[in-house]
A = this chain, B = another copy of it.
Amino acid sequence: MLKEIGHVEVGQPFDNFLLIKSSTKGVASNGKPFLTLILQDSSGDIEAKLWDATEEDEKTFVAEEVVKITGEITLFRGKPQLKIQHIRPAQPIDGVRVEDFLEKAPVPLEELEERITEVIFEMTNPNIQRIVRYFIKKYESTLFSFPAAVKNHHEYVSGLAHHICTMLNLARDFKRNYPEINLDLLYAGIILHDLGKLTELSGPVAPSYTLEGKLLGHIPIMAEEIGKAADELDIVGEEVTILKHMILSHHGKGEWGSPKVPLVREAEILHLIDLIDAKMNMMNRALNKVKPGDFTERLFAMENRSFYKPTFE
Binding site for B on A (CB under 8 A): 9-11, 26-31, 74-76, 78, 125, 127, 166, 169-170, 173-174, 176-178, 180, 182, 185, 211-212, 214-217, 219-220, 223-224, 227-228, 231, 237-239, 241-242, 244-245, 248, 253-265, 268-269, 272, 275-276, 279-280, 283-284, 287-288, 295, 302-303, 305-313
- Given contact pairs A10-B31, A31-B9, A303-B261, A211 touches B238 in the complex (Cβ within 8 A): yes
For this complex, 7 residue pairs linking A to B, each with C-beta atoms less than 8 Å apart, are: A10-B27, A217-B259, A220-B224, A220-B244, A224-B227, A255-B255, A265-B309
Within the assembled complex, what's the spacing in Å between the Cα atoms of A30 and B75?
Answer: 7
Top 5 nearest A-B pairs (CB, nearest first) are A11-B31, A173-B173, A215-B245, A254-B254, A29-B75
Residue of A173, A176, A279 most packed against chain B (CB within 10 A): A173
CB-CB under 8 A from A261, the residues of chain B are 303, 305
CB-CB under 8 A from A287, the residues of chain B are 180, 265
Q: Which residue of chain B lies nearest to A275 when distances are taken between CB atoms in the complex?
A: B272
Q: Looking at the complex, which one of B78, B248, B276, B311 makes contact with A216 (CB distance below 8 Å)?
A: B248
Q: Looking at the complex, which one of B185, B215, B245, B313 makes contact with A125 (CB distance below 8 Å)?
A: B313
Whether B280 contacts A178 by the Cβ 8 Å rule is yes
Within the assembled complex, what's the spacing in Å between the Cα atoms of A11 and B176?
Answer: 44
Name the distance in Å between A258's Cβ and chain B's nearest Cβ: 7
